[in-house]
Amino acid sequence: MARKENYVVSNMNVESVLSMKGGKGEDSYDNNSKMQEQHARSVLHLLMEALDGVRLSSAAAGAFVVADLGCSSGRNAINTMEFMINHLTEHYTVAAEEPPEFSAFFCDLPSNDFNTLFQLLPPSDGSSGSYFTAGVAGSFYRRLFPAKSVDFFYSAFSLHWLSQIPKEVMEKGSAAYNEGRVTIHGAKEGTVNAYKKQFQSDLVSFLRSRSKELKPGGSMFLMLLGRTSPDPEDQGAWILTFSACYQDAWNDLVQEGLISSEKRDTFNIPIYTPSLEEFKEVVERDGAFIINKLQLFHGGSALIIDDPNDAVEISRAYVSLCRSLTGGLVDAHIGDQLGHELFSRLLSRAVAQAKELMDLFQLVHIVASLTLA
């Protein structure tokens, strides 16, 4: 059996290694998700609109089911779930209806650190304002629930992650081979098209799975990274900033003889940021859902720090964020020790480019509210 550092993500099931960094350490997702928390709070008014559009079921009909798809392992998922349950309870009260019991499902890949998430959960005793919880391990690009069993789906910061890296992107000699790059920003047409087709296929799989699981009168609220440019080669300022430092760090390992150039070239981050028009086109062509609300939302900086002029603080926040998001993929590709070396090089690169990181690392999100057609 090959040693871990010789594993290549393209030869693996991405599902088995893709996860945000678990635990509660310095580089954990829980400690590096302030950006996600801040951006999620900024669209709560849109989330409330989506919740208000759900058909209320009677207490006699059983539990009202809410599912968070791509929950990860931080407290953000808990806070958002509590917000949704509380708002739904108020919605029932305003309608002079007795609130039912609530069931909350937290869903993510099997590699997710559910233990850390469960430690953050409040006790569930069925009292007012509480809810019963369960974890569901599996890809949301497939079925996760019985037919017509879920009232409301919520997913944030997840659907831009692809189910897999397109095979042709990893094949040397292919027109889509992404030589010298870790993302598709600025890549050649063949690479970009392969990623775009993968995103479209994944989104259709997602929509069709949810259309079978959603109860009549249910709704779905989605938030994912998007882009403003109509050109898929231009994935946005944030990915340009992210990939510039990241690619340089990988190049450092190659130049120092720690890894081969082929090893670098077979590492790709399975992220695709669609435009609003691309997202709309896929949803409308599939036909399973009606779009109630769809907009681009400028979320601001990905780096939430105390002193925006402190280069060291900026660079450390940037590297911790990168490691919390991609550390699992890196370690699976080159092993823990070389992964540590990569992020050390990334820190040096980030210090030198701190001002650019702070100015350009800006995120744009697609926010969508959907109901069954």
Separation between Cα atoms, residue 20 and residue 36, nearest integer Å: 13
Angle at which helices 34-41 and 75-94 cross, to 10°: 20
User: What's the pLDDT score for residue 372?
Assistant: 94
Tokens standing for residue 246:
């990241």
Q: So what's the pLDDT on residue 124?
A: 59
Residues near 188 by beta carbon (within 8 Å), at least 6 away in sequence: 175, 176
Residue 84's SS3 state is helix
Contacts of residue 345, defined as CB under 8 A and 6 or more positions apart, other chains included, come to 248, 249, 252, 253
For the chain, 373 residues long, give each residue's pLDDT as a single digit of tens: 333 333 344 445 666 556 555 555 555 565 555 666 666 777 889 999 999 989 877 665 778 999 999 988 768 888 899 999 999 999 888 888 888 889 999 999 888 888 888 887 776 554 545 788 899 999 999 999 999 999 999 999 899 999 988 988 888 888 998 888 888 877 889 999 999 999 999 999 999 999 999 999 999 999 999 988 898 888 776 676 666 778 888 889 999 999 888 888 888 888 899 999 999 999 999 999 999 999 998 866 666 667 777 888 888 888 888 887 788 888 888 888 898 888 888 888 888 877 777 676 677 889 999 999 8
> Percent of the chain having pLDDT more than 70?
81
User: For 256-310, where are the alpha helices, taking DSSP H only?
Assistant: 261-265, 276-286
Q: Which of 373, 365, 372 is nearest to 42 (CA)?
A: 365
- What was the pLDDT predicted at 112? 82
Report pLDDT for 345. Answer: 87
Q: Which two tokens stand for residue 341?
A: 């070396």
pLDDT at site 37: 67
Partners of 290 in the β-ladder:
371
Q: Which residue has the tokens 């659907």?
A: 159
Radius of gyration of the chain (CA): 21
Distance, CA of 346 to CA of 322 (rounded, Å) = 9
Q: Which residue segments constitute the domains of the chain, with CATH numbers given?
A: 14-372 (3.40.50.150)
Residue 2: what pLDDT?
34
pLDDT tens sequence across 263-282: 888 888 888 999 999 999 99
Query: Per 3-state DSSP, what percentage of the chain is helix, strand, and coil (rounded to 5)?
Result: 45, 20, 35
* pLDDT of res. 62: 79
- pLDDT (tens digit, 9 = 90+) per residue, 302-339? 666 677 778 888 888 888 888 877 888 888 888 888 98
Pair 289, 372: CB distance under 8 Å: yes
